[in-house]
């Protein structure tokens, strides 16, 4: 069988290296096998898990082996390629029916990051357009498209970095929440892409990472990938942001997004809204960095974005040990909505959007 990935000269890794950038990537695609870096084990273990079926890929997304909106979208796309290669039906109608069942299962993996839906719908549209092809040929076309989704994401991140770096201070603390870096995207990152671009231009930025309870994406992932890149990073507990702002130790905030509504409201990791309110109260710019694939133009406002809630055990236990009082009630919403009026600018690959966001978002799709 042809190895399309090996033939594709524009693969994200080479793209990153050609541009003189370094960054970890969360996935590899080799000879019809998807490899995911198990982000649950970072920073202490770098384990790559092999995936050969769409169902297993959907479960990996659900279980946080891979996370971060664009990375979830790219992963889901490769999951749908695996589904196409794995379906042996010669009968075309049956093939399509079964493939769409896999797509429906994939779409249930996580609800908030719109990139997952965006990527799966993009492949469904392509499959509809090439309905006349044999299952094998259709699978090959879907594979090319998944590789394009990945490559385009890396290109978008490089462009976001270019547009966003001009907004960061020449010197001082820049706070980020969760992980919006190479691990959360096809490579390079959105929020961390901007920080990478500013630092490589010579800005003396002190990156401050919120630890991001309960999965500790800041402490484990943001810190790990920046240190790997030679970028100094300071870890703080989530509750420290307001104090550091009051003391003048934070000059700007830059975060990623899981979904941006048509009016500019942003769903992102729980705690983002709190940071945005604090930034407003302390007169500090609050930036959101995301590719256009994270914008959901048919969702009018944050009120309509489905927000994931996860199990109580993520909060009541830590590193496999029970830490909360037995019998305590728990709520574990994992995303929140930052209203558009708290956001100074949204940085996409197409440029910098400023309030009012409606017209700029509309223009991204026209
Ligand atoms: O639960 P996670 O780790 O998938 O949440 C990730 C985030 O909230 C990121 O900030 C967001 O997906 C942007 S990633 C470029």
pLDDT at 195: 98
Mutate-to-test residue for ligand 1 from 62, 72, 180, highest number of ligand atoms within 8 A of CB: 180
| Radius of gyration for the chain, computed over Cα atoms and rounded to the nearest angstrom | 20
* Mean per-residue pLDDT, 172-201: 97
pLDDT at 90: 76
27: which 2 tokens? Answer: 């996935």
Q: Which of 210, 258, 265, 296 is labelled catalytic?
A: 258
- Full DSSP string of 181-207: SGGGSSSS-SHHHHHHHHHHHT-EEEE
Question: pLDDT band for position 264 (50/70/90)?
Answer: very high
Handedness of CA 98, 102, 141, 137 (dihedral sign): negative
Element (H, E) at 75: helix 69-86
Any idea which residue has 């017209």 for tokens? 359
Residue nearest ligand 1's atom 10 by CA: 256
Using the mean position of ligand 1's atoms as its centre, give its distance from the Cα of residue 270 in Å. 10
- CA terminus-to-terminus distance, the chain: 39
182: which 2 tokens? Answer: 């190479």
Using the mean position of ligand 1's atoms as its centre, give its distance from the Cα of residue 42 in Å. 16
pLDDT at 12: 79
Mutate-to-test residue for ligand 1 from 65, 66, 118, 184, highest number of ligand atoms within 8 A of CB: 184
Of the candidates 231, 257, 235, the one whose C-alpha atom is nearest the C-alpha of residue 348 is 257
pLDDT at 6: 57
* The total number of residues written for the chain in this structure: 366
Do the Cβ atoms of 191 and 181 come closer than 8 Å? yes
d(CA 166, CA 201): 10
Which CATH superfamily includes the segment(s) 169-364?
A: Translation initiation factor eif-2b; domain 2 (3.40.50.10470)
* Mean per-residue pLDDT, 242-263: 98
Using the mean position of ligand 1's atoms as its centre, give its distance from the Cα of residue 311 in Å. 17
Which CATH superfamily includes the segment(s) 4-159?
A: translation initiation factor eif-2b, domain 1 (1.20.120.420)
> In which residue ranges of the chain is CATH 1.20.120.420 found?
4-159
Ligand 1 atom closest to Cα of 189? 15
Report the mean per-residue pLDDT for the chain: 95
> In which residue ranges of the chain is CATH 3.40.50.10470 found?
169-364
Instruction: Indicate if the pLDDT at residue 269 is higher than 90.
Output: yes
**Taking CB atoms and a 6 Å cutoff, what residues make up the pocket around ligand 1?**
67-70, 113, 178, 180, 184-185, 190, 217, 256-258, 268-269, 334
Query: Taking the model in full, what pTM does it have?
Result: 0.96
* Mean per-residue pLDDT, 72-83: 98
Ligand 1 atom closest to Cα of 113? 12
Q: Half-sphere exposure (CA, 13 Å, Cβ side) for 31?
A: 1
Task: Tell me, yes or no, if 258 is annotated catalytic.
Answer: yes
Mutate-to-test residue for ligand 1 from 37, 70, 217, 275, highest number of ligand atoms within 8 A of CB: 217
Using the mean position of ligand 1's atoms as its centre, give its distance from the Cα of residue 33 in Å. 24
Instruction: Indicate if the pLDDT at residue 75 is higher than 70.
Output: yes
Ligand 1 atom closest to Cα of 268? 8
């Amino acid at each position: 069988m042809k190895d399309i990935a090996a033939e594709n000269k524009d693969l994200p890794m080479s793209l990153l290296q050609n541009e003189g950038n370094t960054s970890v990537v969360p996935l590899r695609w080799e000879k019809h096998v998807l490899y995911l870096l198990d982000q649950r084990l970072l920073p202490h273990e770098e384990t790559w898990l092999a995936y050969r079926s769409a169902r297993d890929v959907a479960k990996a997304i659900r279980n946080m082996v891979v996370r971060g909106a664009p990375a979830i979208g790219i992963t889901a796309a490769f999951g749908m390629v695996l589904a196409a290669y794995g379906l042996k039906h010669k009968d075309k109608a049956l093939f399509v029916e079964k493939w769409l069942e896999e797509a429906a299962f994939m779409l249930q993996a996580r609800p908030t990051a719109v990139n997952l839906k965006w990527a799966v719908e993009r492949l469904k549209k392509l499959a509809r357009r090439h309905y006349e092809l044999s299952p094998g040929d259709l699978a090959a076309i879907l594979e090319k498209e998944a590789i394009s989704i990945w490559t385009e994401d890396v290109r978008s991140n490089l462009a976001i970095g270019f547009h966003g770096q001009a907004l960061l201070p020449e010197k001082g603390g820049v706070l980020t929440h969760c992980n919006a870096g190479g691990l959360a995207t096809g490579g390079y990152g959105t929020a961390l892409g901007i920080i990478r671009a500013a630092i490589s231009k010579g800005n003396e930025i002190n990156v401050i990472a919120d630890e991001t309870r309960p999965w500790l994406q800041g402490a484990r992932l943001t810190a790990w990938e920046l240190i790997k890149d030679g970028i100094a990073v300071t870890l703080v507990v989530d509750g420290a942001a307001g104090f550091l702002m009051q003391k003048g130790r934070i000059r700007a905030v830059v975060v990623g997004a899981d979904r941006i509504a048509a009016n500019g409201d942003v769903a992102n990791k729980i705690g983002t809204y709190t940071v945005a309110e604090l930034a407003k109260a302390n007169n500090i710019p609050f930036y959101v960095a995301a590719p256009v694939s994270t914008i959901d133009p048919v969702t009018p406002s944050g009120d309509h974005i489905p927000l994931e809630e996860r199990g109580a055990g993520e909060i009541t236990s830590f590193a496999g040990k029970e830490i909360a009082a037995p019998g305590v009630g728990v709520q574990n919403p994992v995303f929140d909505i930052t209203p558009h009026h708290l956001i100074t600018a949204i940085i996409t690959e197409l440029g910098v959007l400023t309030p009012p966001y409606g017209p700029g978002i509309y223009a991204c799709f026209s």
